Structure 1
Amino acid sequence: MAHLPLLMKDLALILGAAAITTLIFRRLKQPLVLGYVIAGLLVGPHFSFFPTVGDPENIKIWADIGVVILLFSLGLEFSFKKLMRVGGSASIAGIFEISSMLLLGYITGTMLGWSQMNSIFLGGIIAISSTTIIIRAFDEQGMKATSFAGLVMGMLVIEDIVAVLLMVLLSTVAVSQQFSGVALLIEVVKLLFFLSLWFLSGILILPSFFRWVGKWLNEETLLIIALGLCLAMVLLATQMGFSAALGAFIMGSVLAETSQAETIEHQMQPVKNLFGAIFFVSVGMLIDPVLLWKYKWPVLLITIAVMLGKTIFVTIGSFISGQPLKQSLQAGMSMSQIGEFSFIIATLGVSLGVTEDFLYPIAVGVSVITTFTTPFMIRASQPIYLLIDEKLPQKWRNRLNRYSSSAQQLPAEADWKVVFRGYFIAIALNSVVILAVMFLAVRFLDPWLVKHLGNELFSHILTVIVTLIISAPFIWALTIKKLHRGSYTSLWLNSQLNHGPLVLVEVIRNLLAVLYLFLLLNQLFPVNVAFFGSVITLAVVLVIFSRKLQAFYARIEKRFMTNLHHRELMQNTGAKSTLTPWDAHLAHFVIRPEAACVGKSLQTLAWRERFGINVASIERGAKMITTPNRDELVFPFDKLAVIGTDQQLQQFRQIVEPAVPIKLEEAEEDIRLMKIKVDEHNLLKGKTIRHSGVREMTNGLVVGIERNGERILNPDSTMVFEWDDIVWIVGERNKILELTAKA
């Protein structure tokens, strides 16, 4: 019989064990991740009742590949635009919670007498909640349509991206063996620079590439190309001193902006499942039950710290961001666990050799306990809130309600804010491209020219010319391009006091261009030549070629924006739920074919009168109907975006939702439930809802008004707006923002 490689025997063993344990865990309705971990424990070196893996090193290599695949798949689900749409509430709450948990973990480790490195890694381990476990718990308890679920999902997006950054920073701290604030700041700046560069170049190139080769693509070739790009970015990231996981995540997030994202994600699913299973089994193989029992008290202490810390800090962070106490507490108790990212961070400490052996099984033990408690914590959040609300004095309740109502007001955007934000983004992004081109020219092009041409001076001059040709459009955008002309002109004409700051901004952006050219020339020529050469070169380039540079940059910008939004343009989109400081929110429903409402108009159905809900949009095949009128008919499998409270939506669900849930693809359309304040900027005061033009300007509906502490749901169209009214509108986000920006 032919000799069977040891690796194949080991894979047969771990996948067989994983299959059995996951079947058991499916039967028990528990997360599969825990089943994989238990399988690893059973076939690992610390458990002698079953056959043991023969070559753990080979399995470790497969597990490392598993981390890359998991992070690549996470990037595919991420998307940079999704982060921008998370909103201020989830961002503020997420950052507050992660920072607090990092500090709590460090303090807990120090109290236990652990070393500084163990304490730092403990903070990272307990800072990140489990997306898999939370989503599963919401599904099983039917809470995905509740008002706090969107906040939790947004915070999980923030946690995922912070977890990737944490891995980079923890690797830096582990290698340097010191916690230097300056060194970490340099690493963060370096990381942000390369993230921006990779994102800009990826969006500029990859969507166009996929469109060009689209007629030759099938599912097989698309999968191979995606994996090839993933591993290429892994190699590039490691060459730049970053982790392989970061490279995989970045490539996944860039591919998430292409129109092939869903196909790639679908094709990656079995690959992700296979390598994910191997990774989590390898996690279980590192668990030493004897060591875990020895540290049972630290496990218990850290478990309590996770459950209480997550609940308290998420609740406080959510409330600070403007969410009501009820939703804040529900979000906090939903996120009181750690999961898959904690395993990855713990594995990182072990692989770098900077954490003690006991930290890893402790992390797994805490994860197992908090995973089992998560469903109970979610169910207990409502009774606990009612108890707290009952015990709070009326004065405190009024203050809390006033704060949550005012914290998320959307006032008109000041001209200064618009101008400076536009200039900051333009300066940052163009600087990244210019510095990247100069770095590549000096590091690679110039040495190559010197080697092949033999004339050093001529090679330096040629390097400068090539660099200027490539970077000139971006230098023009950095120094000359006018941004937000309307707001800029308004500020300039409004007051002479505005002239100074505006001129200063122009001076700074031009000085930056001179500085960048000086840095380039100073690498190749003496200082005096570099100084005068940078000023003269900038003047010549911008004066002579200004019009051509403007046209060329406009084409680049158009191509970039087309690629960035290509996925949205190619797919039909629906309404996306967002969170509000009161109980009304957006949820999605599909009309079942046998529903009694099929074929009837919205006026006949009178859902607003019967349930108190509003239909924000209807997606019907390739057609999207926003803010449908009363004569619109309802057809089978229409996808409805509906606004209402939790109780109203639960009642409505029984009327329209199919018996077998239909999985809806995540909507990308920015149809939001937002609120604005009636002030001197939007000129709504004194107008009725019908004649204010809000419906036409926002392509939306006014569904609520808060006035003097009173909440008016579904106000009559003849109601007149008053000063300081808080108006709730469901409509297109960008158009609502445009309304608030009008002066």
Structure 2
Amino acid sequence: MLLNLILANATQVTEAFNVEGLIRDLAFLLILGAVTTLLFKWLKQPVVLGYIVAGFLASPNFEYLPSVTTEDNIEFWAQLGIVVLLFSLGLEFSFKKLVNAGGSAVVTALFIVCGMMGAGFAVGHMLGFSHINSLFLGGMLSMSSTTIIIKAFTDLNLRHRKFASLVFAVLIVEDLFAVLMMVVLSSIAINSSVEGGEMLYSVSKLAFFLIIWFVVGVFALPSLLNSQRRFLNSETLLIISMGLCLGMAVFSVACGFSLALGAFVMGSILAGTSFAERIERVTIPVKDLFGSIFFISVGMMVDPAIIAHYWLPILILSAVVICGMIFFGTTGMLLTGQSLRVAIESGFSLTQIGEFAFIIASLGMSLGVLDAQIYPIVVAVSVVTTFTTPYFIRMADPTANFVEAHLPRRLHFLINRYTEEATTSASATRQLWHSLFKRYLWRVVLYSIVLIAMSLISLDYIVPTFTGLFPNWGRLFATVVSLLFMAPFLLAMTYPASKKTERERLIAANARYDVPLIVMTIVRLLIAMTILVYLLSSIYSMKVGWTIGVGLFFILVLSFSKSAHKRMVRIESRFIDNLNERELRRSGAKNRLVPNMHLAYMTVGYKCPFVGEQLKNSGLRSRFGVSVASIQRGGDLIMVPGAEERVFPGDVLGVIGTDDEIQKLLPVVEVADDEAPEVSADDIRLTGVRLKASSPLIGKTIVSSNFRNVWESLLVSVQRDGDYLQPDPSIVFSEGDTIWAVGSVKRLADIEG
């Protein structure tokens, strides 16, 4: 009876959700994707192009193969793919990196968005579109595709390059601009004008929620994960990370934002933890699976009939996107002080439009202001630019070489001088003021947002709950509870932002510090008092708020105590430590074993001088005075490794040493990943090379030619007169020999002569 009931319910669920059709569509797409990606791998083309071809083959527009049964199924998988892809991007690019690259990213993104909106608007008018259609078209052309670029960089093994991190920062800022742009376009479409109040509200709301999510996440998540570190195997970490990703995505929608923004925020928060690399590793299969469905869904939008009918506008808009993104992206990077090569590489990477173009187009269609033919045109432009993106990324280096070789010497000098001036450090006093103002600003913004959030929670939840439970005394109880929770943060707002040592340094430098510090103190006090008065005025009345609020504020300030100050310092220290957890773990600054001895964890770079060497030959102890306590290699942990253990790229070394020893060792071990080899595993194979008379090996032995180190290959055999000779050190290479070796095909080709 029970079994029949379960089967009946399962049948009803299957019919209601069409589970069989969902699985059939997924199976069909994955099989097509597997075939096309293998083909594109064989052709040595980017895999993302194979996914787009698979999508076209699976669409109703290709009549020679069966099509998917329900397009809503594909939309579901594609949306999930976007969420996972942006979560992965967040793991790659933490908030701290965004702040460090923020100036360059914001200026470049603003330059691109304004420039491309103007170009799109002008081209739209040229093609005969209306004013509002041209405006929406400019918005659609101004946003590069985050997901396409992530996939292209991954396929081309470029995510470690300097320009890639700058491009990611620009894409993040563009996504934030897109939220603002949608508000502006909606306002123009509905009211034929920009509602300044609504735009300001949307920007403030976005900033408010981003800061709250960031503060709560950084304060809570690293401590929580570290407390459960011994239980976090790969399975548990995958469940927790994906749960946090989807949970934040849902919460983001509840706050009025997109799923993708929430996923990105959670990834950025987790990127600051010491678990970031492990989370990224365990979520790679999930990202690859659902990310492939997203790219396949883009390919399904390709309609040959639309492309044939609107081929000219599609080509014109594709050229505008490619040329415009290269020009505005490169120029924006140069304006922010980046080198010419980095600027060109960044500009060539942004040559496409993607998911936000579809979102803006859908917004225009829902508002009834966008002509129906524009949507398929934009989809076709997106597909064309997606196809060309990997090729333009590959063209960046040759283009940079050409420009550097042919650029007039005068312009070269001006660009280099501007770059040097933009990166030159200021005077010590100016740096001190910069550090002081930066600390003051982030404390004021941080505590203001926290206090505002607590006030809103009090007014929306605490006050109604207490007044419902205690009709007579509810407001008083709610006020006391709210003030008790807000008191530490109100006190923190009143504490000085400058330290005694900093004031002494300013005095020694004869800098007039008193007036700026007094102004900063007054501003902080006014903000804290205003929030307190607002809360009391909202609960009672304006008169009560001002009289009681001002009085309570002065009582709070006068009750300043060293113990309260110490508690707030501990809270701030915990927040800062969580924010810099990966850096602290790397340097061992907070992992003291005995006085002046720390345990640091550093990742071995590709160009580390002792890669491949045994520990006894690495010179770690003799040259740097440190000891290796552990080696983390993938999922394996080698505790107290022996002298015969070798060091490989990607190993995480647990090193014990003093502060000075660790700081000297870090740059040696973690050699810049910018120089990581760009040779993929597919390029390494057994190759036979026939030696000509001009070969550099002729007349040399295996030992004298230093074959392994010079050619970075393993000699397997020497073919001579039909015989295969073992690689004996005494063999002398001669013309006509065929060398069989395992290594890079391109590298071994130089042996031929």
> TM-score range with shorter-chain normalisation?
0.7 to 0.9
Cross-structure match for 1:740: none
Aligned-pair CA distance for 1:201? 0.6
| Structure 1 Cα separation of the partners of residues 709 and 98 of structure 2 | 34
Which residue identity lines up with residue 347 of structure 2 in the other structure?
G
Match of 2:307 in 1: 292
Match of 2:179 among 168, 173, 181: 168
SS across alignment from 1:478: helix
**Is residue 73–residue 272 contact of structure 1 (8 Å, CA) maintained in 2?**
yes
**CA–CA distance in structure 2, aligned partners of residues 321 and 280 of structure 1:** 33
Q: Supply the distance in 2 between the matched residues of 1:219 and 1:392 (Cα, whole angstroms).
A: 52
Give the distance between the partners of 2:510 and 2:464, measured in 1 at CA: 53
Report matched runs for 1:374-389 at 5 Å: 374=389, 377=392
How many residue pairs get aligned? The number is: 623
Aligned in 2, Cα 1:7/1:432: closer, same or farther, shift over 3 Å? same
Could you say which residue in structure 2 is the equivalent of 1:154? Answer: 165
Question: What secondary structure is seen at the aligned counterpart in 2 of 1:641?
Answer: coil
* 2:120 and 2:137 in contact (8 A); partners too: yes
Q: Distance in 2 between matches of 1:659 and 1:624?
A: 35
Q: Relative contact order: is structure 1 or structure 2 higher (C-alpha 8 Å, sep ≥ 6)?
A: 1
SS of the residue aligned with 2:671? strand
| Unaligned stretches of 5+ residues in structure 1 | 578-586, 605-616, 648-652, 661-743
Partner of 1:230: 245
Which of 650, 654, 676 is the aligned partner of 1:622? Answer: 654
Give CA deviations for 1:568-594 in whole Å, capped at 9, x if unaligned.
3345666999xxxxxxxxx84575648
Indicate if the aligned counterparts of 2:585 and 2:601 stay in contact, CA closer than 8 A: no
The one-letter amino acid of 2:440's match is Y
Quick one: distance in 2 between partners of 1:55 and 1:406? 58
**Structure-1 residue corresponding to 2:704:** none
Number of the residue aligned with 1:448: 465
User: Where does residue 35 of structure 1 map in the other structure?
Assistant: 50
Counterpart-to-counterpart distance in 2, 1:655 and 1:183: 65
How big is the shift at 1:191?
0.7
Of 523, 529, 546, the match for 1:531? 546
1:430 shift after superposition: 0.7
Q: Aligned partners of 1:182, 1:576: CA distance in 2, in Å?
A: 52
TM-score by length of 2: 0.72
Q: Corresponding residue for 1:702? A: none
Which position in structure 1 is the counterpart of 2:377?
362
1:470 to 485, 501, 515: 485
Deviation by residue 1:299-336 (Cα, 9 ceiling, x = unmatched): 21122112221222222222222234454334433443
1:522 is matched with 537
Q: Match for residue 567 of structure 1?
A: 582
CA distance in 1, matches of 2:210, 2:247: 15
Say if 2:439 and 2:497, in contact at 8 Å, map to a contact too.
no
Unaligned ranges ≥5, structure 2: 1-6, 587-599, 624-648, 678-706, 715-753
Question: Which secondary structure does the structure 1 equivalent of 2:212 belong to?
Answer: helix
Map 1:318-397 → 2, pairs under 5 A? 318-338=333-353, 355-374=370-389, 377=392, 394-397=409-412
Residue 184 of structure 1 pairs with residue 216 of structure 2: no
Give the distance between the partners of 2:523 and 2:461, measured in 1 at CA.
Answer: 30
Amino acid at match of 1:446: V
- CA-based RMSD: 4.3
Structure 1 residues 436 and 115 mapped into 2: Cα distance closer, same or farther (>3 Å)?
farther
Amino acid at match of 1:201: V
How far 1:474 sits from its partner (Å)?
A: 1.3
The higher radius of gyration belongs to: 2
Match of 1:508 in 2: 523
Instruction: After TM superposition, give the deviation of residue 112 of structure 1 in Å.
Output: 2.9
What whole-Å deviation, never above 9, does each CA across 1:47-76 have from its counterpart, x for those lacking one?
A: 322212222223322322222222222222
The normalised TM-score by structure 1 is: 0.73
- Show the counterpart of 2:741: none
More displaced stretch, 219-228 vs 102-111: 102-111
The residue that corresponds to 2:64 in the other structure is 49
- The offset of 1:384, in angstroms, is 5.2
Task: Identify if the C-alpha distance between structure 1 residues 358 and 379 changes in structure 2 by more than 3 Å, giving closer, same or farther.
Answer: same
What amino acid is the match of 1:621? L
Letter in 2 for 1:562: D
Q: In 1, are the aligned partners of 2:37 and 2:47 still within 8 Å (CA)?
A: yes
Q: Alpha carbons of 1:449 and 1:185: their partners in 2 closer, same or farther (altered >3 Å)?
A: same
Q: What does the per-residue CA deviation read over 1:370-394, in whole Å, with 9 as the maximum and x for residues that have no partner?
A: 4554565456556655665676555
Alpha carbons of 1:84 and 1:111: their partners in 2 closer, same or farther (altered >3 Å)? same
Match for residue 743 of structure 2?
none
The corresponding residue for 1:283 is: 298
Structure 1 residue 530, shift from structure 2 partner: 0.4
Contact 1:418 1:484 in 2 (8 A): no
Matches of 2:158 and 2:458, distance apart in 1: 54
Equivalence for 2:236? 221
How far off its partner does 1:621 sit? 3.1
Instruction: Please point out which of 89, 100, 105 is paired with 2:120.
Output: 105
In structure 1, what is the Cα distance between the partners aligned to 2:572 and 2:260? 30
SS of residue matched to 2:274: coil
Structure 2 partner of 1:438:
455
